Structure 1
Amino acid sequence: MRNYSIYTLKTKLEFTNLYQYLGEKDYKQLEQQILCHSYHTPICTWNGIVINGIEAYELFRKHSIPFRIKRLHFSSKEDVISWICTDQLKREDLTNINKKYLIGKKYDAEKILVSRQLSSTNKSHISGASIAAKKISEECNVATATVYKYSAYSSALDIIDEKVPDLVKRVRSGQLWISQANIIELSGLSKEQLLSLNNYLLAEKIEHLSYHDMKRELLWNNYAKPILKKESSVSIPSIRNLPQFDPDAEIASLTLTIPSWNSSIERVLKVSDFKIASDTAKYKLKYQLMCLISTTNNILKKLEEI
């Protein structure tokens, strides 16, 4: 078999984490193809590292069957990450969760690549992040704000993965459903807290973790600091004393509240050092700001319709 050999290659978690692994049925089908010598797709590598076909590579090695490799050339690991994400995003069997994760990771890689390119052409004053977000937005047919949200989501998953890989594995495989917002909340917990939470989910066979679960069923206060205060008891006025309906009330209230948001944001810009702030804090802030942008755009559209 010309150009076929049992190569010894390396794997890198940073790359293999981008791969959506096959289900049991498809995995067995792949194994059967390899055993019957009917699988001829080469294993793609970069500097001796597997960057595509990880499961096929493992099966070839397991059964000591020679295979081909295809050496690809990239300038940096960010180029590799972007290539892997693009390749994985083409899959018809890609789950929605992994699609979000890959878009977020591709944006993070492209952001570095664009910023590096701008710096080399003395255009470092231009935002590489916004250019990368627009590029990914067009390629993946999603809104720019959504790209930012997916970036925060994928970063939060990575943080949890460093502490409790099994939890992220079950989320990305579809065995456990947790919303984007709750994933970002969970990323702020310690390894011990996440382990306790994961063990509880497994013991109780919980497959859908909602915010309500975290607050009530999972006794959220045992895992993190309280984030909601008990509502103070307020006397409900009788029907006779109810104020007349004011159509401007909610809008006026929001109008009066927004200046305080702007003040808080400006204060953070002045006194905070983003370089030394924790990744968890920055990811949470990024996510909430993207949500704010999305909601603000919706209100502006409503106002334009008038």
Structure 2
Amino acid sequence: MEEKYRIDPELNAVLPNLSEEDYSSLEKSLLTDGYKGAPIMVWGDVIVDGHNRYEICNKHHIPYEVKQIDFESKEEAVRWMVRQQIGRRNLTPIQRIEIAEKYRPFYTEKAKENMSSGGKKYSPKEGLQNSSTLSNENKIDVRAKLAEVANVSTDTYSKGKKILESGNEELIEQTLKGEKSINKAYNELKASQKKEFDKKIEGISSSDLKSELQDLKENKRKEVAKKVRESREKYGIESPEYDEAKAEQLNVEIQINELENASCNSDGIERVKQIQKRYRDYLDVFQEDVNWLLSMEFYKNDEEITSSIHSELRNCMERFKGVDSLITRMTIDDLGCIVINK
């Protein structure tokens, strides 16, 4: 069959990619049973659903069925394609979010167009006035629109997006399979990130802590402030891009606060370590001296008092060991206080 339809790269990006195993299985089924099921959907000469079946049928000259569908714009075509994928089978919330994210570029572009309408440039001083000239129907909340497509709340959508972008493959897979809810996975992600940050702080020296703190204050703080300003000027203060930039700015300030506390506490930790080392060194020397004294005999006014002295020395040594146990378990908590670990 002569090929007469094409695959639009931009629309193709919206469609799910089949794994090699699934593609091979589909190819085997078409070769064995022929073309069955729903027709290949096309918009003019562009395929909007069934691109894998179309590719395989053309490759092996297998007859196939085609059905035309009309759209007013590419945006409408993408919306239809996304909803087709979401409604095709039972999906977990995060799977619906993953599919809906493919529609983000179209909403983002539309939001940009609306922000620039009216011929006025958004400025820090006039931003609120300019944004108010846009009618409510022209404003686009990208996050809200995508959450609507995925049939989840905006809060759930934001959490799901952060999970998908986290790089934690195990957590992503567990959430995609429905083994963990988005809320549970998100809380685990935040706890994991906090643990990694704490471990990072614990593993570096006081001078490195101060160096990183300086970098956060002098570079990262300026970087996120610029991002906040640019997102405000480009998208407006009611946009999700501005919200995300502000959230990143808040996160930097939290890190600065934690590092400042850690930097102060690291001095206390170093002091505790010095005390612990000095006491251990002293105890080793004292133990040697006590052992030597325990090997000697003692007399007072020609009366042997060895047993009494040895007993006192042993009691003294045990008390020093008790203090050593206490000092060994000392550390500094987040508030800069000395705590004794169990």
Task: Sort the TM-score into its range (normalised by shorter chain).
Answer: 0.3 to 0.5
Structure number with greater CO (CA < 8 Å, separation at least 6) is 1
Instruction: Identify the structure with the greater helix proportion.
Output: 2
TM-score (norm 2): 0.41
